[in-house]
Structures are given as structure tokens and as C-alpha cells.
Amino acid sequence: MNDEHLRLCASAEWAQLVADELLPWVLGDDELGPDVLEIGAGPGLVTDLLVERAPQVTAIELDPDLAAALRQRMAGRPVEVVTADATAMPLPTGRFSAAACFTMLHHIPDPEGQDRALVEIARVLRPGGLLVGTDGEDTPARRALHVDDVFTPIDPATLAARLSAAGFGYTDVESNGDRFRFRARR
């Protein structure tokens, strides 16, 4: 992430948006279950909320510095932080009751990599396991935030088909024009 983007993802403003708007919109009435995977945790403002809703959280983060900082900040809480790439996760098949993927898929540099990550998420979920997530629409403001950074926006109109191709059964994608949320069952 560029510096401005990193600052935003670690800010009180982002924490409030995630807690008050994004997580309730993404999760709805669904339960995460006992063993939750978070993909692309970054500074961990979503992790803070997930660990209040699940007894065990595993957070995957590609950037070793961000992962180390989160590991240190989560010490004493039931959160394992794994430095790893979502497109090839060193995690067992069929383990997790739910996976949360917040504002990270657009950071994977190409659609093929995004699809590999979706296949990997389906692999590590239990049968019936839940994927919930959100990402941003392709807007001028979001492009400006990603100068010198990876930005591979997902067209929400294509996401249900991509989730199905990755191995998900039920899928639900909804956009509010600026962001979209997705839910899918393994």
C-alpha cells in the first residue's frame, strides 16, 4: 500500500467506518462460527472486530512488516497472524467456519490471481462455510488513492460468476454504487 492508503487503513476514521457500516452491512444476520480466517488483514482494524465475534481468528497478511506489527498488537488474543499470500495459503483444506475478505481483492495485481485467491478461500472453508467480504467500486477517488499502488478493481457484476467458478454454491453480491459486499457459501 502507498503511505496515504496505509494511513487510512490504520485510522480512527476507518475503524469507525468498518465497525458502524461495513461489518454490519457485510455480515447481516450471519454467524461466523468458531474458526474464522481473515484475508489481507493489513493494520488489523477488521481483525479487532472479528476477534470479538469468534473464538479463534487466523489473519493472513502478505506484507511481512504489517504482519509482524499485527502479531505483536494481537498478542494475548486468540489471533494467529500468518505471513502468507492469499493465492497459495499454507492452511489445511476444509478447516474454517468462515472467511472475511475486506477491501483486499483489488490489491491482487491481476484477475487470475484474484480468482486463485477465491479458489484458495473455497478450499480452506468447511463445506457450508461462509465467505463474507467487501471491496470498492472503480471510482476516480479510489484510483487517486492508489497512485503508485496496486489497483485491480473487481466488477461486482462479474463476481457471482467468479465465486461460482471458484467452487462456491450460494452467492450474493450487492453494490451501493461506491462499495459492494459479497457473501457466498462453500
Binding to ligand SAM, residues 37-56 (CB under 6 A): 40-42, 45-46
**Shortest distance, CB of residue 86 to ligand SAM, whole angstroms?**
3
Q: Which are the contacts of 93, defined by CB distance < 8 A and separation ≥ 6?
A: 123, 124
Binding to ligand SAM, residues 98-117 (CB under 6 A): 102-104, 107-108
**Shortest distance, CB of residue 105 to ligand SAM, whole angstroms?**
8
Quote the CA–CA distance of 97 and 17 in Å, as a whole number: 25
| Binding span for ligand SAM by CB under 6 A among 69-77, 96-104, 141-149, 175-183 | 96-104
Residue 52 neighbours by CB distance under 10 Å: 10
Residue number, 3 or 127, with CB nearest to ligand SAM: 3
Question: Do residues 80 and 113 make contact, with C-beta atoms less than 8 angstroms apart?
Answer: no
- Report the candidate in 123, 131, 52, 120 with the shortest Cα–Cα distance to residue 94: 123
Residue number, 41 or 57, with CB nearest to ligand SAM: 41
**Shortest distance, CB of residue 84 to ligand SAM, whole angstroms?**
7
DSSP state of 75: T
Helix (H, G, I), strand (E, B) or coil at 14: helix
| Binding span for ligand SAM by CB under 6 A among 27-35, 80-88, 153-161, 171-179 | 80-88
| Binding span for ligand SAM by CB under 6 A among 60-68, 71-79, 118-126, 178-186 | 60-68
What element of type H or E holds 145? helix 140-145
Question: Do residues 184 and 168 make contact, with C-beta atoms less than 8 angstroms apart?
Answer: yes
Answer for which of 26, 27, 32, 60 binds ligand SAM (CB under 6 A) is 60
